[in-house]
Amino acid sequence: MRDKVRCLIIGSGPAGYTAAIYASRANLEPVLFEGLQPGGQLTTTTEVENFPGYPDGISGPELMEDLKKQAQKYGTEVYPGRATAVDFSVRPLKVTIDNEHIIESDTVIICTGASAKYLGIPDETKYAGQGVSACATCDGFFYRKKKVAVVGGGDTACEEALYLAGLADKVYMIVRKPYLRASQIMQQRVMNNPKIEILFEHQTEGLFGENGVEGAHLVKRKGQPDEEKVDIVIDGFFLAIGHQPNTDIFKEFLEMDEVGYIKTQHPTTKTNIEGVFAAGDVADPIYRQAVTAAGAGCRAAIDAERYLSEKGL
């Protein structure tokens, strides 16, 4: 493993691997560290049907393996390990891997992604890829003419519920509070949709089913004298309680929004620090799709190559 590189890529989802493909073909000899979840969030998705070029669909892990092979074919060095600290106040930039190995780099492309927030009930793990999802746009297609539930009461939850209502027969919204936090227009849309039923003051206690999700155990008005246990029959359980970008180690140096998404100088992937670029879900609170992440990875590699060229590095 080299201690000094021209281009260091942190993270291995569609953004990281696409950045690696472009960077290696531009002769930047990139080094990529895969992070905690090699392949990123897509490796938890069983079937991907919306990535161009796969008319019969492809599993998330297979797609990531294809992208990884393509990056390695053109010369990217891929290593296990995650970035645990950075120092962007010096040149070359410094990144610490697994708390021990420091790598210096002229450019850093951050593709550390975002993690969906979960409720923390064991059944979410048990049924991962078998009815539990954190992305309606990714997985909604599998629930055509079926019954689904969306957890959350904000704009994201309303968007997911409306998207799913275009596919499913029935959409429950499980909302902990007695009201929706979403904007007025979104509230009106879900309330006016005949396929959506909002279950206010309900919380999920667990899921049940033999070979996948078949229903959810809910509790209504938990802790109140009139507390009531409710079971609903569903085929899919969608979490829409937000995402947390994986950006903690960059907070000292990079400009971020209030949630922690890295701010980039649109239309580029440049951050407020010269030579540091961000691509994929780590800088995208809106789309969060594999194909948009891949596109951003391409842009980041081109931005990095131009920066190195301008600086004569």
Q: Does 151 share its domain with 224? A: yes
DSSP string, 237-251: EEE-S-EEES-GGGT
Please tell me the distance from the alpha carbon of residue 42 to that of residue 48, in angstroms, as a whole number: 8
231 a catalytic residue: no
pLDDT at 224 over 80: yes
| Model pLDDT for residues 170-219, shown as the tens digit of each residue | 999 999 999 999 999 999 999 999 999 999 999 999 999 999 999 999 99
Dihedral angle, C-alpha 183, 189, 191, 193, nearest 10 °: -160
Residues 6+ apart with CB under 8 A from 163: 136, 137, 140
Q: Tabulate helix, strand, coil % of the chain (nearest 5).
A: 30, 30, 40
CATH number at residue 94: 3.50.50.60
Q: Does 251 share its domain with 175? A: no
The proportion of the chain whose per-residue pLDDT surpasses 90, expressed as a percent, equals: 88
Q: Which of 13-17, 54-58, 147-151 has the lowest mean pLDDT?
A: 54-58
Q: Which of 223, 239, 255 is the last residue of a domain?
A: 239
Q: Does 126 share its domain with 223? A: yes
Q: What pLDDT score was predicted for residue 269? A: 98
Q: Which of 194, 211, 239 is the last residue of a domain?
A: 239
Q: Please state the rounded mean pLDDT for residues 110-119.
A: 93
State the residue range of the domain holding 136: 118-239
Q: Does 16 share its domain with 65? A: yes
Q: What pLDDT score was predicted for residue 46? A: 66
Q: Does 173 share its domain with 78? A: no
Q: Does 87 share its domain with 177? A: no
Q: Does 98 share its domain with 140? A: no
pLDDT band at 24 (very low <50, low <70, confident <90, very high): very high
Q: Please state the rounded mean pLDDT for residues 21-37.
A: 95
139 a catalytic residue: yes
Of 7, 106, 123, 138, the active-site residue reads 138
pLDDT at 116 over 90: no
| Model pLDDT for residues 239-297, shown as the tens digit of each residue | 999 889 999 999 999 999 999 999 999 999 999 999 999 999 999 999 989 999 999 99
Of 106, 111, 123, 135, the active-site residue reads 135
Which tokens is 14 given?
A: 């569609």
Annotate 155-169 with three-state secondary structure.
HHHHHHHHHHHCCCC
Annotate 102-156 with three-state secondary structure.
EEEEEEEEECCCEEECCCCCHHHHHCECCCEECCHHHHHHHHCCCEEEEECCCHH
Residue from 150, 128, 152, 125 nearest 137 by CA? 150
pLDDT at 96 over 80: yes
Q: Does 110 share its domain with 247? A: yes
Q: What pLDDT score was predicted for residue 137? A: 85
135 a catalytic residue: yes
Q: Does 94 share its domain with 140? A: no
Q: Which of 186, 205, 239 is the last residue of a domain?
A: 239
Of 106, 123, 139, 235, the active-site residue reads 139
Which tokens is 240 given?
A: 């829409």
86: amino acid identity, one letter: V
Q: Does 10 share its domain with 154? A: no
User: How many domains would you assign to the chain?
Assistant: 2
Mean pLDDT for the chain?
95
Q: What pLDDT score was predicted for residue 156? A: 87
Which is it for strands 243-245 and 114-116: parallel, antiparallel or unpaired?
Answer: antiparallel
Please tell me the distance from the alpha carbon of residue 125 to that of residue 213, in angstroms, as a whole number: 12
Q: Does 205 share its domain with 250? A: no
- Compute the C-alpha angle 154/151/170, nearest 5°: 105
User: What does pTM read for this prediction?
Assistant: 0.82
223: left (phi over 0), alpha (psi -120 to 50) or beta: left
Please tell me the distance from the alpha carbon of residue 222 to that of residue 201, in angstroms, as a whole number: 8
pLDDT at 45 over 80: no
Residues 6+ apart with CB under 8 A from 244: 114, 115, 117, 259, 260
Q: Does 300 share its domain with 248? A: yes
Q: What pLDDT score was predicted for residue 85? A: 97
| Model pLDDT for residues 121-156, shown as the tens digit of each residue | 999 999 988 999 998 988 999 999 999 999 999 988
pLDDT band at 36 (very low <50, low <70, confident <90, very high): confident
Please tell me the distance from the alpha carbon of residue 70 to that of residue 67, in angstroms, as a whole number: 5
